[in-house]
Amino acid sequence: MYNAQGEVIFSSNQVGTMRMLLAGLSLLPFSIQAMRQLKQKKDLLYFSIVGVCGNFIPAFLFTYAETHLSSGLAGIMNSFTPIFTLLVGFLLFSQKITSFQVIGTCIGFGGITLLILTGGNISADGEGLIPSLAIVLATFLYGISLNTIKFKLAAYKPIHVASGGFFMVFIPSIIGFFAFDTLSVFRANPDALSGFTAIAILAVIGTAFAVFLFNGIIQSSSALFASSVTYLIPIVAVIIGSFFHEHIQFAQILSMFIVISGVLLANYGHLLKKQG
């Protein structure tokens, strides 16, 4: 995290740790409820998988990657999530894959690829291979977490799934807070408080509350449908850019329609087959 002058306030590891710690604190009352309503001891393993694969490790991977890659490219690469969700569901959870899901996911990924190629303002530095692989690993872990929520924790309320996952990584977050010497930043950097405020908002709204809503989507629909939301992130980025008078090319508009059509086909293609 940087201040207005471009100087580092918190390292990527410190940001990731505080994000997890503050998100866990905000959901702590619900975490206690979730543990009290535990249906079987084996579910602790599944909550741990959600916490580690869906929250903890990706938080560090993304904060690391975004210190080397543009935020736009990182957001677009997050669109690998539906692909891994589909593959993990098939390989590890015996989830059946329809031809519409495969074709729709490929079309959506093709649209994202076109958006990358036509987005001249999106770039990475020459040493971006490892940060890019970090995002790929994060999206693979997301695929494991999404399928675990859908197939192993469906009996729990979305708020309890979210809070239970953060609860399982709460102690590691505390350890990380001190291990990465975060306290020294508060003592030495005058911009630490403003940076901490921004991280707190991200943790509570962009992490804890967003994960709760996301889990609700997973349980009411499918893991693939929920993960398809990541295909819309680059589209939103382009639309927001238009409000700031950034030039939008015809190919970018075309790629948006390709992505949307792929998402619709993957999630609703089976309805076309029934009608046929």
Q: What is the pLDDT of residue 41?
A: 93
- The pLDDT of residue 37: 93
Q: What are phi and psi of 266, to 5 degrees?
A: -65, -35
The pLDDT, as a whole number, for residue 20 is 95
The one-digit pLDDT tens for each residue of the chain (276 residues) are 565 566 789 998 999 999 999 999 999 999 999 999 999 999 999 999 999 999 999 999 988 888 887 666 676 677 788 888 888 988 898 888 888 888 888 888 787 777 666 654 445 444 567 888 898 899 999 999 999 999 999 999 999 999 999 999 999 999 999 999 999 999 988 889 999 999 999 899 988 998 988 888 888 777 777 777 766 666 666 666 666 665 667 776 787 788 778 877 877 776 666 555
- Upper half-sphere CA count for residue 120 (Cβ side, 13 Å): 5
Q: What is the 3-state secondary structure (H, E, C) of the chain?
A: CECCCCCECCCHHHHHHHHHHHHHHHCHHHHHHHHHCCCCCCHHHHHHHHHHHHHHHHHHHHHHHCCCECHHHHHHHHHHHHHHHHHHHHHHCCCCCCHHHHHHHHHHHHHHHHHHHHCCCCCECCCCHHHHHHHHHHHHHHHHHHHHHHHHCCCCCHHHHHHHHHHHCHHHHHHHHHHCCHHHHHHHCCCHHHHHHHHHHHHHHHHHHHHHHHHHHHHHCCHHHHHHHHHHHHHHHHHHHHHCCCCCCHHHHHHHHHHHHHHHHHHHHHHHHHHC
Euclidean distance between CA atoms 3 and 7, whole angstroms: 5
Report the alpha-carbon distance of residue 52 to residue 264 in Å, rounded: 30
Q: Write the single-letter amino acid at 60.
A: F
Q: Say if residues 160 and 30 touch (Cβ distance below 8 Å).
A: yes
User: pTM of the prediction?
Assistant: 0.81
Give residue-wise pLDDT tens across range 122-163: 454 445 678 888 988 999 999 999 999 999 999 999 999 999
Tokens of 275: 């009608």
Please give the pLDDT value at position 111: 79
Residue 9 to residue 186: CA distance in whole angstroms:
9
Which residue in 21, 67, 17, 19 sits closest to 180, CA to CA? 17
Residue 276's pLDDT is what? 52
d(CA 216, CA 37): 18
Query: What phi and psi, each to the nearest 5 degrees, are found at residue 246?
Result: -80, 140
